Chains A and B, each alone.
Chain A
Amino acid sequence: MSDAAQPEAVVDERVKEMSAFRKSLIRPELGGICGTVAVFVFFALFAFDSGMFASQGVLNWSIVSAQFMIIAVGACLLMIAGEFDLSVGSMIGFAGMMIAIFTITAGWPVWFAIIVTFAMCLAIGALNGYIVIKTGLPSFIVTLASLFILRGFTIYLPQTLERKTIIGGVRDAAEGDWLAAIFGGKILTGLFQWFGDIGLIGTFERGTRAGQPVVDGIPMLIVWAIILVIFGHILLTRTRFGNWIFAAGGDAQAARYVGVPVNRVKILMFMFTAFCACIFATCQVMEFGSAGADRGLLKEFEAIIAVVIGGALLTGGYGSVIGAALGALIFGVVQQGLFFAGVESSLFRVFLGVILLLAVILNTYIRRMITGER
């Protein structure tokens, strides 16, 4: 706006001027940013000598945070679009189990098993969305039903086919598989070997792995988390589709009136949530080499908590993927940090509850300032 000839707009005397600093603070992620800083300061003070901030410790809480991030991105976009998915945890168990059954029981190549499983999960996600749209029922109820149905199959299928609830041996089957490496492999191994050689990170001193660095690369799980967070953030804030996500969750009817394909947006977001759950499951199966019937229990709530800490509104139409990622980071750091700090692990929930409450109070306050809610 360099046009000096244009008359200045008359300043409304009732609109308060806001300083640039204050303006830069007022953003949906603020609660998440404050929480992250608080958590890191806390553990730097109380657990600095415990190895939490050594390379192995960092990898430890990074992996846990990345797991939360993967499902939080899906849950975040779906929540902004105005819907819930309570079947995330069951979907993780189900997807992992299907990969194991396809590879071990059916003997399919691992890459084929993974692709078929992804297709199944996307179809189930689409079905969830379709039922929600067509019946007009709350997604809470519809996905609660999926939670039980999928979990039921996850327990029933391995018991019937293999007479056990944990199917192992996937790691041997996945040896050398190109697609399995994308989920279970590690990147930058050469770089980390070099870090070990120059003494930047510790190396094993004895045993079969003597000379190798204690952290030998970045697991693909973390790479997936970063990719999903960046993808989700750009999709939400920088694309037309992102505007539709906000609109669908903000007021579906108003959005429909101006021609936003609300139903399509919502169904696609259910599919994306299922996709994220499936990535989580595949990484987990490749890491453990097995699938268990109880995998992914309660993950849906952990995802929702991370999203809410990150500043999203439970009723939709407002939120941030970066915030959700920070929420996931807080979650991961607290869970692992308390272990490093030697705190009784049952106190994890107390700590988490307090953070959740504080973050949500702060977020509500910020949101009211931004949106003029009363």
Chain B
Amino acid sequence: MNASTKPIIEMKNIEKHFGSVIALAGVSVDVFPGECHCLLGDNGAGKSTFIKTMSGVHKPTAGEIFFEGKPLHFDRPRDAISAGIATVYQDLAMIPLMSVSRNFFMGNEPRRKVGPLSFFDHQTANDVTMEEMKKMGINLRGPDQAVGTLSGGERQTVAIARAVHFGAKVLILDEPTSALGVRQTSNVLATVDRVRKQGIAVVFITHNVRHAMAVGDQFTVLNRGKTLGTAKRGEVTPEELQDLMAGGQELATLEGSLGGTV
């Protein structure tokens, strides 16, 4: 789609060792603005370690990261957030006991000065929250409705809307659809599509090939800490991706007995 533009994030030969365990053994990925880059891999393939390196939670043992062409060093997740890299974690996106508007502005609370004191500006927070939720197609009873009353898909959507609202250039989604039902999944995928069209780079982590094929522009498969290459949309079939994720052999033999249901 945007083949001529420069990648917003370049990850070059990233290695990450935890003691004697090599979690990542040289992974390279380029992410382009306005594209959805799907990161596929089975459990333990190193997907989580890889995105945590990208979002500043882990420091790579070796390798380089370039963000908008410049080498990048994040000491804390906070640095990555202020640089414009936002991560939405599967089950840690929202705090169920808190209201939607408190969640939406968590860590970025709008403030109103009264003399020397500064207060949480609930009016602004509530208005912005209702506005953003309407854009995303979520109907709230009120901005003070607790997140616990929302469905899983709605929670992911709120988290994505929050990241976009606070100026994310890169949005990392950690298995946003893995715990969701069919309709909620399609809502989240529609949200991903909408976000991508705003020119934001999306990194979409999943182990579900069908979800990846639905929105992905590029596909990178991780297996045992290594990449097996990046493919563009149209260059690869779901079956090939599935085989790559499983390491090529085991699934081929299973395929017959399961009748193509995986």
A243 in contact with B105 (CB, 8 Å): yes
**How many residues on A have C-beta within 8 angstroms of the other chain's C-beta atoms?**
32
Convert A152-185 into 0s and 1s, putting 1 for each residue whose CB lies closer than 8 angstroms to a CB of B: 0000000000000000000000000000000000
Bound complex: CA of A261 vs CA of B146, how far in Å?
Answer: 22
A257 close to chain B: CB less than 8 A? yes
Assuming A239-B118, A318-B97, is B148 touching A253 (CB within 8 A)?
Answer: no
A255 in contact with B107 (CB, 8 Å): yes
**How many residues on B have C-beta within 8 angstroms of the other chain's C-beta atoms?**
30
B119 close to chain A: CB less than 8 A? yes
A22 close to chain B: CB less than 8 A? no
Specify which of B78, B94, B120, B148 is in contact with A238 (CB 8 Å cutoff).
B120
Residues of B within 8 Å of A10, CB to CB, are 139
Bound complex: CA of A246 vs CA of B95, how far in Å?
Answer: 9
Residues of B within 8 Å of A250, CB to CB, are 95-98
A18 close to chain B: CB less than 8 A? yes
Bound complex: CA of A255 vs CA of B89, how far in Å?
Answer: 12
Residues of B within 8 Å of A372, CB to CB, are 96, 146, 148-150
Residues of B within 8 Å of A246, CB to CB, are 95, 97-98, 102
B81 close to chain A: CB less than 8 A? yes
The chain A residue sitting closest to B148, CB to CB, is A372
Assuming A259-B78, A371-B96, is B118 touching A240 (CB within 8 A)?
Answer: yes
Residues of B within 8 Å of A9, CB to CB, are 134, 139
Bound complex: CA of A247 vs CA of B95, how far in Å?
Answer: 7
B77 in contact with A240 (CB, 8 Å): no
Residues of B within 8 Å of A318, CB to CB, are 97
B129 close to chain A: CB less than 8 A? no
B105 in contact with A371 (CB, 8 Å): no
Residues of A within 8 Å of B62, CB to CB, are none
B146 in contact with A371 (CB, 8 Å): yes
B70 close to chain A: CB less than 8 A? no
A332 close to chain B: CB less than 8 A? no
Assuming A250-B96, A317-B97, is B139 touching A239 (CB within 8 A)?
Answer: no
A12 in contact with B96 (CB, 8 Å): no
A251 in contact with B109 (CB, 8 Å): no
Specify which of A240, A251, A256, A313 is in contact with B111 (CB 8 Å cutoff).
A240
A39 close to chain B: CB less than 8 A? no
Residues of A within 8 Å of B146, CB to CB, are 370-372
Bound complex: CA of A242 vs CA of B176, how far in Å?
Answer: 29
B104-152 interface with A by 8 A CB criterion: 105-109, 111, 118-120, 122, 134, 139, 141, 146, 148-150
B92 close to chain A: CB less than 8 A? yes
Assuming A9-B139, A238-B120, is B107 touching A258 (CB within 8 A)?
Answer: yes
Bound complex: CA of A237 vs CA of B119, how far in Å?
Answer: 9
A254 in contact with B77 (CB, 8 Å): no
16 other A-B residue contacts (CB within 8 Å) besides A254-B89, A257-B89, A258-B106:
A11-B139, A15-B139, A15-B141, A18-B141, A239-B120, A243-B106, A246-B95, A246-B98, A247-B95, A247-B106, A254-B93, A255-B106, A259-B77, A259-B107, A370-B146, A371-B97
What are the 9 tightest A-B residue pairs by CB atom distance, in nearest-first order?
A: A372-B149, A250-B95, A372-B148, A258-B107, A240-B109, A259-B107, A371-B146, A371-B148, A254-B92
